[in-house]
């Protein structure tokens, strides 16, 4: 069946020919242009609408302070309101050990004295305050994201609600997972063995592996790609959902060739086929293959996501929940994508409670797939799931969405008592 998306991809004359439409090509063109204009307007409006229920909280929650604390190589963010309720977020130490100066000097002071119910608006304000936009990209937004997470945890604990309730209400009790393998240095057979081990451990029903040579390709990497793509499908069979990620390895011509191989083996999506910030080239690949093109983990701009979505350069959007600035900004991307009938499957890092924050996010989003990225529970900081104990880990290929206030975990109080303030 010819869908509206197919018509938009084909353009005016091709569309008229394809559907054997009695209208002239000019009329189809005019309608298509109108559809596009209307879609772009809806996407823009979606970006501007509230994405949470924070504005409906009746009592002010004034943030006394947001601060960065450290113990050994671990960084935690604490948000405290004027009533003394505390929210926590754990950072990814591999990123925060380079970025903490931006957090301490630029992000933390901004939130003092603000009403946490205004958090959506504050995310826009912090971007322009003191010319913070000049620091835009991962270094700024991971700091904003960790502040946001601590504040959301604080609001949840103060109001007795899990964070997903503050974000709009959960649509599902469990979040399904895909397991990603990040190797490019071993043989195709080795990757299959590792994926087998991961699937046996987590019970995931979907997998992802790497293509290309990361930001470039070689004859050897392309030869490996041509072995891996059929081998993974053959090993796991037709019921496994399989994705592959090129991390910007290819040029357009090579991406089209690889994409057609993936089509032949019924892959679920093709991630970052070409240089991540070559937006037009990404669209060329999307227009040239039927397999969905995924991307966005390096993206920090709502405007560029708007372009990627409106121009259908991506069929799966993947903002990183932390690199992009947190759950609320990522929900704006989800809302924009929804207008275009596009799914969001966020990128995550495992460290810094990536799966926990993802589970809250994925539980409230209607336009997502059955499978979210899963990288285990690599954090060293001691905590337990509030109420039921244990770590936050997958069972039978899925994560149970926490139901207790805040993010639903409790850090070990003895561990927290050893934290020291980070100063620069
Ligand atoms: Mg990726």
Instruction: Decide if 8 contacts 32 (C-beta within 8 A).
Output: yes
Q: How far, in Å, is the centroid of ligand 1 from the Cα of 180?
A: 9
Instruction: Determine the pLDDT at residue 75.
Output: 98
Instruction: Determine the pLDDT at residue 33.
Output: 83
Distance between CA atoms of 229 and 59, rounded to whole angstroms?
55
Q: How far, in Å, is the centroid of ligand 1 from the Cα of 271?
A: 6
Q: How far, in Å, is the centroid of ligand 1 from the Cα of 327?
A: 18
The stretch 404-414 carries a mean pLDDT of 98
Q: What is the DSSP string of 25-81?
A: HHHHHHHHHHHHHHHHHHHHHHHHS--SSGGG--S--BEEEEEEEEETTEEEEEEEE
Residues bordering ligand 1, an ion, CB closer than 5 Å: 245
Q: How far, in Å, is the centroid of ligand 1 from the Cα of 346?
A: 10
The stretch 206-231 carries a mean pLDDT of 98
Q: Is the pLDDT of residue 25 over 70?
A: no
pLDDT single digits (tens) 286-325: 999 999 999 999 999 999 999 999 999 999 999 999 999 9
Instruction: Decide if 398 contacts 380 (C-beta within 8 A).
Output: no
Instruction: Decide if 278 contacts 286 (C-beta within 8 A).
Output: no
Which residue, 266, 280, 271, is CA-closest to 298?
271
Query: Which residues, other chains included, contact 201 with Cβ-Cβ below 8 Å and sequence gap of 6+?
Result: none
Q: How far, in Å, is the centroid of ligand 1 from the Cα of 13?
A: 36
pLDDT single digits (tens) 348-361: 999 999 999 999 99
Which residue's structure tokens are 């009329």? 27
pLDDT single digits (tens) 363-377: 999 999 999 999 999
Question: In this structure, is the dihedral angle defined by the CA atoms of residues 380, 172, 194 and 320, taken in order, positive or negative?
Answer: negative
pLDDT single digits (tens) 92-136: 999 999 999 999 999 999 999 999 999 999 999 999 999 999 999
Q: How confident is the model at residue 24 (pLDDT cuts 50, 70, 90)?
A: low
Which residue's structure tokens are 């810094």? 352
Q: How far, in Å, is the centroid of ligand 1 from the Cα of 276?
A: 10
Q: How far, in Å, is the centroid of ligand 1 from the Cα of 19?
A: 36
Q: How far, in Å, is the centroid of ligand 1 from the Cα of 396?
A: 24
Q: How far, in Å, is the centroid of ligand 1 from the Cα of 245?
A: 6
Instruction: Decide if 211 contacts 248 (C-beta within 8 A).
Output: no
Q: How far, in Å, is the centroid of ligand 1 from the Cα of 247?
A: 6
Which residue's structure tokens are 């809302």? 335
Q: How far, in Å, is the centroid of ligand 1 from the Cα of 296?
A: 8
Distance between CA atoms of 285 and 123, rounded to whole angstroms?
33
pTM, 2 dp: 0.93
Q: What is the b/e burial string over 346-373, where b = at least 16 CB atoms within 10 angstroms of the residue's CB?
A: bbbbbbbbbbbbbbbbbbbbebbbebbb
Determine whether 212 is exposed, middle or buried from the number of CB atoms within 10 Å of its CB (0-12, 13-18, 19+).
Answer: buried
Token digits of residue 135: 């620091």
Q: How far, in Å, is the centroid of ligand 1 from the Cα of 179?
A: 12
Q: How far, in Å, is the centroid of ligand 1 from the Cα of 73?
A: 26
pLDDT single digits (tens) 41-56: 999 999 999 999 999 9
Q: How far, in Å, is the centroid of ligand 1 from the Cα of 15?
A: 33
């Amino acid at each position: 069946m010819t869908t509206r998306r197919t018509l938009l991809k084909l353009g005016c004359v091709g569309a008229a020919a394809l559907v054997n439409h009695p209208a002239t090509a000019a009329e189809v063109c005019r309608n298509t242009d109108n559809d596009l204009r209307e879609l772009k307007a809806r996407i823009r409006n979606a970006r501007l609408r509230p994405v949470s229920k924070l504005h409906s909280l009746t009592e002010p929650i004034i943030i006394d302070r947001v601060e960065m604390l450290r113990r050994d190589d671990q960084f935690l963010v604490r948000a405290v309101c004027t009533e003394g309720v505390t929210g926590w977020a754990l950072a990814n130490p591999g990123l925060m050990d380079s970025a903490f100066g931006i957090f301490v000097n630029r992000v933390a002071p901004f939130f003092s004295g603000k009403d946490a119910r205004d958090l959506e608006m504050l995310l826009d304000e912090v971007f322009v305050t003191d010319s913070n936009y000049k620091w835009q990209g991962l270094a700024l937004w991971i700091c904003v994201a960790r502040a946001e997470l601590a504040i959301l945890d604080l609001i949840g604990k103060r109001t007795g609600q899990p964070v997903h309730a503050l974000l709009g209400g959960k649509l599902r009790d469990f979040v399904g997972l895909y397991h990603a393998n990040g190797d490019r240095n071993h043989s195709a057979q080795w990757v299959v063995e590792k994926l087998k081990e991961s699937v046996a451990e987590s019970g995931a029903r979907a997998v992802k592996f790497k293509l290309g040579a990361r930001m470039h390709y070689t004859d050897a990497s392309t030869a490996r790609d041509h072995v891996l793509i059929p081998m993974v499908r053959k090993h796991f069979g037709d019921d496994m959902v399989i994705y592959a990620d090129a991390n910007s390895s290819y040029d357009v011509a090579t991406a089209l060739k690889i994409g057609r191989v993936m089509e032949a083996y019924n892959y679920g999506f093709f991630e970052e086929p070409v240089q991540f910030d070559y937006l037009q080239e990404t669209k060329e690949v999307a227009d040239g293959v039927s397999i969905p093109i995924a991307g966005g983990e390096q993206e920090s701009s709502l405007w560029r996501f708007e372009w990627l979505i409106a121009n259908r350069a991506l069929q799966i959007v993947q903002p990183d929940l932390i690199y992009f600035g947190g759950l609320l900004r990522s929900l704006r991307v989800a809302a924009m994508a929804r207008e275009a009938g596009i799914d969001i499957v966020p990128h995550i890092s495992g460290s810094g409670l990536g799966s926990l924050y993802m589970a809250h996010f994925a539980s409230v989003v209607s336009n997502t797939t059955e499978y979210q990225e899963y990288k285990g529970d690599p954090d060293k900081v001691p905590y337990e799931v509030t109420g039921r104990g244990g770590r936050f880990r997958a069972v039978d290929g899925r994560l149970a969405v926490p139901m207790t206030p805040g993010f639903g975990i409790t850090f070990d109080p003895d561990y927290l008592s050893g934290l020291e303030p980070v100063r620069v």
